[in-house]
Amino acid sequence: MSIALVLTSPTIRTITSLQTELAERLDESGPLQIDATAVDRVDTAGLQLLAAFVRDLRAEARTVEWVGCSDALQKAAQALGLHSALCLPGTAAPGSDKN
């Protein structure tokens, strides 16, 4: 069972180290858990990276499970229409998820 990926503030400020960390996670195999309960700050750069990450994971047929997701992250993801791209749990914005 792999260790959950813990996110704190995925923003443009820490984007480079976040990218490194995510890239390392891509090298692993098996399902991945992401813990985003502690996320207080997030921006478009962060969400973009995360969305790419989730997409690449799923392309390798790996599953993503969000074991916790802060309000901040939920709101930001919905604002950008990336809620489903991130496979976030919870109520999606109306009309944006017809999956």
Partner 1 sequence: MDLDLAQFHSSFFEESFEALDGMEAALLGLDVGAPDPERVNSIFRVAHSIKGGAGMFGFKDVASFTHTLETLLDELRSGRMAVTRDISDKLLLSVDVMRAMLTSVQRKEAVDMQKVADLQFDLEMIVAQGAGGAAAPAAPATAAATAPAAAAQPAAAGNGAAAASANGGSNAARWAIEFRALPELLLRGNDPIAIFSSLAELGKLTVVANMQAVPRLRSIDAERCYLTWTLELESDCARDQVDAAFEWAAVDCELTIKRVEAGASSASAAVAPAAVVEAPVVAAPPVQVAAAPKVVEAAPKPVEAAVAAPAPAAASASTAQAAATPAAAGPAPKPADAKEPAKAAAAGGEHSSIRVSIEKIDELINTVGELVITQAMLSELGRKLDGSVAEQFRSGLNQLERNMRELQESVMRVRMLPISFTFSRFPRMVRDLAQRLGKQIELKMTGEQTELDKTVLEKIGDPLVHLVRNSIDHGIEAPDVRVKAGKSPTGIVHLDACHRGGHIAVEIRDDGNGLDKSRILAKARSRGLVGQNDVLTDEQVHELIFMPGFSTAEKTTDVSGRGVGMDVVRRNVKELGGKIEIASELGKGSRFIITLPLTLAIVDGQSVSVGSETYIVPLTSIVESLQLQPQSVNRLSGRGEVFSFRGDYLPIVRLHELFGIEPRATALHEGLIVVAEGDGRRIGLFVDELLGQQQVVIKSMEANYGPVDGVAGATILGDGSVALILDLSGLIRVAAGTARAA
Binding site for partner 1 (CB under 8 A): 12, 15-16, 18-19, 22-23, 26, 43-45, 47-49, 51-56, 58-59, 76, 78-82, 84-85, 93-99
Return the number of the residue (2 or 55) whose C-beta is nearest partner 1: 55
Categorise residue 30: left if φ over 0, alpha if ψ from -120 to 50, beta otherwise: left
- Least separation in angstroms between residue 67's CB and partner 1 is 21
Q: Can you point out the beta strands (E) in 1-99?
A: 5-6, 32-36, 64-69
Q: Are strands 5-6 and 32-36 parallel, antiparallel or unpaired?
A: parallel
- Least separation in angstroms between residue 23's CB and partner 1 is 5
Return the number of the residue (34 or 85) whose C-beta is nearest partner 1: 85
- Least separation in angstroms between residue 54's CB and partner 1 is 7
The label of the residue with tokens 């993801």 reads 77
Distance separating alpha carbons of residues 37 and 82, to the nearest angstrom = 18
- Least separation in angstroms between residue 33's CB and partner 1 is 18
